[in-house]
Structure 1
Amino acid sequence: MTAPPASKGRRAIELLIEVPAVVVAFVMMLHVTANALLRYFVNSPIPNTLEVVQYWYMPIVAFLGFVAAQLRGQHIAADLVFRMLPRATKPYVTAVGCAASALMAAGFAWYGWGEAVHAWEITMTAGVSSLISWPTYFLVPLAFASLTVQFAWATVQAVRSPDADDADELSSAKQPASV
């Protein structure tokens, strides 16, 4: 399923999400490659490479990826049963699925916020190293709050547009929805 042509505002939001993810992925690639080369040729790896990748690069790439995929409507959907439903019920099933997803994402955001605040209060570090890791804990509530809004919007659009031919059209025309 592909997303429709994006408006200028939507495209700006996509760039705001995707450019940092690409930059971080590229920097991570350079960091890991430099670490491997230095380890092999000079026997002097870059300190804390594993921790930086695990606690900084990967959470940024993963959570920005979740948000970008939902915004573009590019999550994987297995609609084996959905295609057999009567046409009139499909938008409502989509709405219920999106509402449930919004509630679940809101729960993850709420729980993640508490964990992020706790990590900040105790100045969490990456494993046994002295590398701080608490700032990346705030990515969890931020990403899931964004997903909550996206799923809530998809729920509203599904209820507003019950005449859509298919959930694929509904989700790509209005807001991505994965059920």
Structure 2
Amino acid sequence: MSAPSKPKGRRIAELLIEVPAVVVMFVMMFHITANALLRFFANSPLPNTLEYVQYWYMPIVALLGFVAAQLRGQHIAADLVFRMLPRAAKPYVTAVGCAASALLAAGFAWYGWQEAVHAWEITMTAGVSDVISWPVYFLVPLAFASLTVQFAWATVRAIRHPDADEDDEQPGTEPAAA
């Protein structure tokens, strides 16, 4: 039995998130490799490689990765206690957990927005270098706002469809045979 196909809008959203993350990862790998080769063979490393990796590449890959993992339902879950709950309580525990996660993500988005605006106002740079870093700060509130919406939607789904089996909602998985 094959996995159910995803709605077109969801596939487009995944592409809009994952393609930039993959492109940035490949650029980062090329940059680091070029830096290592030039350092070893020509004794002339690329300037500010560490700053670009630390302040540009890694935040972009990590934050887009958080959003993509939540969109795909592929975060790691340790449901040791959840399995022991009565079936009737599971949707409500899920709803409370998702609602708390939405509130926390909203708090990070709000704080991240304030920090991004401050970084922009002072034209923040990466450490003591001249590499600007303030634009990446705006990805933090964007990513966490997206996570807030995703967690809020998961909360609504858990309340509206308390009988939905989690295996049915995970892409690429099949429900267990009875």
TM-score (ref. length: structure 2) = 0.92
Distance change (3 Å), C-alpha of 1:71 and 1:4: farther
Higher relative contact order (CA 8 A, sep 6+): 1
Q: Which residue of 1 aligns with 2:14?
A: 14
Q: Which residue of 1 aligns with 2:76?
A: 76
* Distance in 1 of aligned mates of 2:141 and 2:18: 18
Q: Which residue of 2 aligns with 1:33?
A: 33
Q: Which residue of 1 aligns with 2:119?
A: 119
Q: Which residue of 1 aligns with 2:110?
A: 110
Q: Which residue of 2 aligns with 1:90?
A: 90
Matching residue within 142, 167, 170 for 1:172: 170
Offset of 1:169 from its aligned partner? 3.2
* Distance in 2 of aligned mates of 1:34 and 1:58: 17
Structure 1 unaligned spans of 5+: 174-179
Q: Does 1:148 align with 2:148?
A: yes
* Distance in 1 of aligned mates of 2:170 and 2:74: 9
Offset of 1:6 from its aligned partner? 1.5
Distance change (3 Å), C-alpha of 1:105 and 1:170: farther
Structure 2 unaligned spans of 5+: 172-178
| 4+ residue runs over 4 A deviation | none
Letter in 1 for 2:58: M
Seq. identity, %:
83
Could you say what the CA RMSD is over the residues aligned between the two structures, in angstroms?
Answer: 1.3
TM-score (ref. length: structure 1) = 0.91
Offset of 1:113 from its aligned partner? 0.4
Letter in 1 for 2:151: F
